[in-house]
Chain A
Amino acid sequence: MTADATVATSAALLHVDGLVKHFPVRSGLLGRAAQHVHAVCGVSFDVGQGETLGLVGESGCGKSTTARLLLGLLPATAGTVRFAGTDVLTARSKALRALRRRLQMVFQDPYASLDPQMTVGASIAEALRIHHQYRGTGRARVQELMSMVELDPDDIGRYPHQFSGGQRQRIGIARALALEPDLLVLDEPISSLDVSIQAGVINLLADLQERLGVAYVFIAHDLSVIRHISHRVVVMYLGKLVETGTREAVFGRPSHPYTQALLSAMPSANPLTERARTRIVLPGDVPSPLDPPSGCRFRTRCWKAQEICAVEEPALVDRGQGHPVACHFAEAPASPDGTTPDGVSPDVAGR
């Protein structure tokens, strides 16, 4: 489980290379683009068959924009997204339709993403109809999907408002699975749910992956959820990929100062752990993506920053940590400080 995360393998289902997205900010009478929001800036990663890639970062890091780019829902400024050999960004009509069947999305807000005037059955069946798979066995298939996500198939005629948040998110998952996709992009799928029902949805996603072999790009801001569900992890900051590797590598040997700060900021429900630790508190705010800092984008908040950080952008390479990190001064903590032990790496004792 120490495989290098960014090496492109022929088995990769999704191959993302140098993905860039700039949003023009128009102003003035002629509406000329005076500035650009640099939302995603040269992001590359792979997703293998049946695996979960966790994409983590805070507001404005570009994770949701990345999700939309992967699905071809937004045009990219530069870069490529290849899904099973087809270029998602340039695919048109027929090829795009075929792609959409195999590449699906689950949204954060289960209240906004379902049509309130459509029954649950009709919502789930919609994709089947569009792809001419409903006729005949359609209804049975919808009920099968409902059972698969642990909903009562007899509720097929009910409307979204008759379901709770957790149930609605299950409906969203059933919809996304209707066409038997190879990859689901899940954008913060549990963050709007109550704590007591999050675990059920996480377990369901794990079960479905085991049964169907579907791959996930799982986007979240919660590191403990990412750690629980992912095989590999990508950490983003201000449009850039700062660290990537297997779950064991990133959580066992977090090496980018931002990853370390993110892990350190995660509150633990154990009061003894909380009292014992010194937290890394970052100064200031995330800089504006309209005018990101030169060199390393994290340098304005980084305790390790030196002159070189403002001049030269650090490449995302392995500097001896065993996984790629975009920091001139990357180093894994010598001994985990209570916020990072992973329990998997042989030199770290789990609790």
Chain B
Amino acid sequence: MTAPGEPLLSVDDLHVRFRTDHGVVKAADGVSFAIWPDEVVGIVGESGSGKTVTALSVLRLLPATAEVTGAVTFGGRDLLTLPEADLRAVRGDRIALIFQDALAAMNPLHRVGRQVAEAIRVHHSETSRGDAARRAVELLGLVGIPTPEERARQFPQEFSGGMRQRAMIAMAMANDPDVLIADEPTTALDVTTQAQVLEVLKDVRRRTHSALVLITHDFGVVAGVADRVVVMYAGKVVESGTVEEVLLHPAHPYTKGLLASMPTLDREEERLARIPGQPPSLIDVPSGCAFHPRCPYAQLPDPCASALPELRPSPGAAADGHRSACHFSDRLVESG
């Protein structure tokens, strides 16, 4: 599904470190991925995998204590070194964010309509207040909020969780961005509300053709929405490829283990396959492959505990296709 030409946004060798009293937390450790126009890339990982840190560093939204190196290229410029004023022109206009917790992301003292209108006027001061307000109502209608004129006059806390998430999507879409980054946009929602919000996201994208970076812990959400998937573990990308490649033919033991451990609605099994152990501490990441203490395929100590497996094309895949960071990905693919 990789489109030809230049990527819209590319993250290259991103490292994010936090110095703490207990040691250095390597929250992102050499993360690289790219997204092409009109594409949906899912970034999947558990808590502490580095997926949110990666997303936030794209727009330099991490606290000042974070040490960030690498490059985030967008429109021929490196967002990590861009002057703050230039970055502000990108943030919320060309690249917009949707957060998990809409209540925390919105201002409780301002009416929803005003907040959406504000998102427009921040970047387009030539738009009159009246026009921005009308456009806000239109946007709220577009994301499926019933009686948008009335709802625009309400405060965020008067909205249900699902309606609030829709309002956030409206705000993010206000300036027709090139890239939308959604960080666990449906995690706090009930499953039927999640289905509604994912439908809205898909519908909005059909109109605007914004590219979408969807960050989630849920392979199910990715399977229905994304074109390509990036799987993260302990601050690193361990596998990437199209949704079919990664979800149907996983080439990394972590992906394979996660998929096998989730109960499904269409499989019968007495016992769930479980991944032993715990995700590692990011202060003290295991040597070699960070997954080796939990991996059923690991050969110890060599190579799995001694050598860091590179993210390389899995057997039979094109150079820019399905990749996995496992010393034994060929065996995994054979065993199906």
Chain A residues with CB under 8 Å of chain B are 58-59, 164, 166-167, 194-200, 202-203, 206, 221-225, 227-228, 251, 261-275, 279-282, 284-286, 338-341, 343-344, 350-351
Contact = CB atoms under 8 A, between A and B. Distances in A.
B160 A285 contact: yes
Interface in B227-245: 243-244
Contacts of A270: 223, 247-248
A266 B263 CA distance: 12
**Contact residues of B: prevailing secondary structure:** helix
A194 B194 contact: no
Given A194-B47, A339-B265, A206 B271 contact: yes
B272 A199 contact: yes
B185 to A, nearest CB: 13
Given A269-B219, A270-B247, A350-B268, A227 B278 contact: no
B218 A267 contact: yes
B220 A203 contact: no
Nearest to B263: A228
A272 B244 contact: yes
B295 to A, nearest CB: 12
A273 B266 contact: yes
Nearest to B200: A281
A194 B264 CA distance: 17
Interface in B136-195: 146, 160-163, 190-195
Interface size class, chain B: 35 or more
A280 B195 CA distance: 8
A274 B161 CA distance: 24
A8 B263 CA distance: 30
B69 interface: no
A223 B192 CA distance: 12
B224 A274 contact: yes
B275 interface: yes
B258 A195 contact: yes
A273 B265 CA distance: 11
Contacts of B275: 196-197, 199-200
B6 interface: no
B223 A274 contact: yes
The 10 tightest CB contacts between A and B, nearest first, are: A267-B220, A228-B263, A58-B190, A199-B261, A265-B195, A199-B272, A269-B219, A274-B224, A199-B274, A271-B243
28 contacts: A58-B190, A58-B191, A58-B192, A59-B161, A164-B278, A195-B262, A196-B294, A199-B272, A261-B192, A265-B194, A265-B195, A267-B198, A268-B223, A268-B265, A270-B223, A270-B248, A271-B223, A271-B224, A271-B244, A274-B220, A281-B192, A285-B160, A285-B162, A286-B160, A339-B265, A340-B265, A350-B268, A351-B267
Contacts of B2: none
A264 B191 CA distance: 9
B26 interface: no
B244 A59 contact: no
Interface string B196-210: 101100000000000
Contacts of B28: none
Contact of A284 (B146, B195, B224): B146
Contacts of A196: 46, 254, 257-258, 261, 275, 279, 294
B333 interface: no
B273 interface: yes
Contacts of A272: 244, 248
B266 A267 contact: no
B212 interface: no
A286 B192 CA distance: 10
Nearest to A227: B265
Nearest to B224: A274
Contacts of B294: 196
Contacts of B265: 223-224, 227, 251, 263, 266, 268, 339-340
B217 interface: yes
B134 to A, nearest CB: 25
Contacts of A284: 146
A341 B264 CA distance: 11
B220 A269 contact: yes
A282 B268 contact: no
A262 B182 CA distance: 24
B259 A343 contact: no
A99 to B, nearest CB: 32
Nearest to B275: A196
B248 A199 contact: no
Given A198-B261, A273-B266, A282 B223 contact: no
Given A199-B274, A269-B220, A282-B196, 14 more contacts: A58-B190, A58-B193, A59-B161, A164-B278, A196-B257, A199-B275, A203-B272, A227-B265, A273-B266, A274-B223, A280-B195, A341-B266, A343-B266, A351-B266
